[in-house]
């Protein structure tokens, strides 16, 4: 808008100067020339106002989807002169889907005196995001002209962890995680040892209630059992190239959110939970955090789900109950499934076309694909697809 107004004034001043020459009016000519000089000076001031600035950024290193975070920008002038108001706008990555952002108010930076401005965003997509550029827009003192220049505030890296997305889950299935649940399963009284007590949940047997603890806590408590070999579970999220469907909140984002919820339910029930990428650290205060950190780094550039399943089944300690999340069908997956014990794999599948209506491949949520998995002895559950609400 300012540039349009400035251009209009320039054309008007030239027209005024031409008319002054035609009518031989020196006063009118000087007036038009002075107007042109004012506009040129305004443009020079606007351009000079956005130069020679020093910027730095402070932001949290980690966040969770849907959690508001505050980013701080410090700006100072490297020249000893009074600057007009400047509008600062951070150039966030395009793939960082966000719910809202509060733009900073205009500031007038002083010489070697940093001015702090803050804005807030709510990331809606997991992943690792890096950015450095900041757009600075300035005007002249009269507001006739404007200029914009991109500065670097140093590279900032933000890791957005997936938030667990609850879904309907058969809790009785989790109690068998890590145990042999085929027809030859032995009695828990013979094969399991009590390791403590925990609060009663759906699927627990009444005969396992620990009455003394129930009386003391005034809550229904049951004995917690663990296999002598240790209860184990394996969670595999499909990250085959081409399996991440959709823009914004994609199929991989949805799978990571559901996997986070599943792992949250498995951790209290299993002595060990494996993931595609093993957690880099341990957190006694928040056991789920290391898994969220690993899920945030997952990209659709890894090995096929079939190869990861085959590798997990070759673990000397055993894979335990295996839970796989997939949106796209893989022909080689059936060969890997045949290596697993009967009824030891539970597949959570998605309709890829719900994320991308134009998808032309084989959707894992298609009827034919589901029937194929069930015939191979896999327990299949279709999960909701689509954008995060």
CATH of domain 53-161: 2.60.40.10
Average pLDDT over residues 302-331: 93
> Cα 266–180–256 angle (5° rounding)?
30
CB 153 within 8 A of CB 55: yes
Look at residue 313 and tell me whether its pLDDT is greater than 90: yes
Percent of the chain with pLDDT over 70: 83
Look at residue 377 and tell me whether its pLDDT is greater than 50: yes
Whole-prediction pTM value?
0.76
Dihedral, CA atoms, 202, 206, 209, 211, nearest 10 degrees? 130
Look at residue 5 and tell me whether its pLDDT is greater than 80: no
CB 308 within 8 A of CB 342: no
Closest by Cα among 201, 210, 205, 208 to 170: 201
**Which of 25-29, 45-49, 139-143, 181-185 bottoms out in mean pLDDT, i.e. has the lowest?**
181-185
Q: Give the domain ranges of the chain.
A: 2-48, 53-161, 171-178+231-382, 190-229
pLDDT in tens, 146-161: 888 999 999 999 999 9
Strand partners, 139: 146
Average pLDDT over residues 224-253: 82
CATH architecture of the region 171-178+231-382: 3-Layer(aba) Sandwich (3.40)
CA distance 279 to 298: 12
Average pLDDT of every residue of the chain? 83
């Amino acid at each position: 808008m300012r540039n349009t107004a400035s251009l209009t004034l320039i054309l008007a001043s030239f027209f005024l100067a031409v008319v002054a020459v035609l009518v031989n009016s020196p006063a009118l000519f000087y007036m038009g020339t002075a107007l042109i000089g004012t506009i040129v000076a305004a443009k020079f001031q606007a351009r000079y106002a956005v130069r020679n600035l020093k910027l730095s950024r402070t932001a949290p290193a980690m966040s969770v989807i849907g959690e508001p975070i505050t980013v701080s920008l410090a700006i100072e002038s490297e020249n000893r002169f009074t600057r007009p108001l400047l509008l600062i706008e951070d150039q966030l990555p395009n793939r960082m889907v966000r719910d809202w952002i509060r733009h900073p108010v205009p500031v007038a930076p002083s010489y070697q005196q940093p001015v702090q401005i803050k804005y807030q965003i709510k990331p809606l997509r997991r992943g690792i995001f890096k950015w450095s550029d900041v757009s600075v827009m300035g005007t002249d003192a009269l507001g006739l002209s404007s200029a914009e220049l991109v500065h670097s505030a140093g590279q900032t890296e933000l890791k957005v962890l997936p938030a667990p997305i609850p879904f309907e889950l058969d809790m009785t299935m989790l109690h068998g995680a890590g145990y042999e649940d085929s027809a030859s399963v032995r009695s828990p009284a013979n094969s399991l040892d009590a390791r403590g007590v925990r609060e009663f949940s759906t699927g627990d047997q009444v005969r396992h209630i620990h009455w003394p603890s129930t009386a003391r806590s005034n809550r229904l408590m049951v004995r917690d059992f663990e296999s002598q070999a240790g209860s184990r579970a394996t969670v595999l999220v499909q990250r085959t190239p081409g399996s991440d469907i959709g823009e914004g909140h994609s199929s991989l984002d949805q799978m990571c959110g559901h996997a986070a919820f599943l792992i949250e339910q498995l951790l209290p029930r299993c002595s060990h939970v494996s993931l595609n990428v093993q957690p880099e650290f341990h957190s006694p205060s928040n056991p789920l955090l290391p898994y969220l950190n690993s899920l945030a780094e997952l990209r659709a550039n890894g090995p096929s789900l079939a190869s990861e399943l085959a590798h997990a089944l070759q673990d000397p300690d055993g894979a335990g109950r295996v839970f796989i999340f997939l949106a796209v069908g893989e022909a080689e997956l059936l060969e890997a499934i045949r290596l697993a014990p009967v009824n030891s794999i539970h597949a959570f599948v998605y309709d890829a076309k719900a994320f991308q209506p134009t998808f032309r491949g084989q959707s894992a949520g298609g009827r034919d694909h589901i029937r194929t998995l069930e015939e191979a002895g896999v327990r299949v559950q279709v999960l909701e697809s689509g954008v995060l609400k």
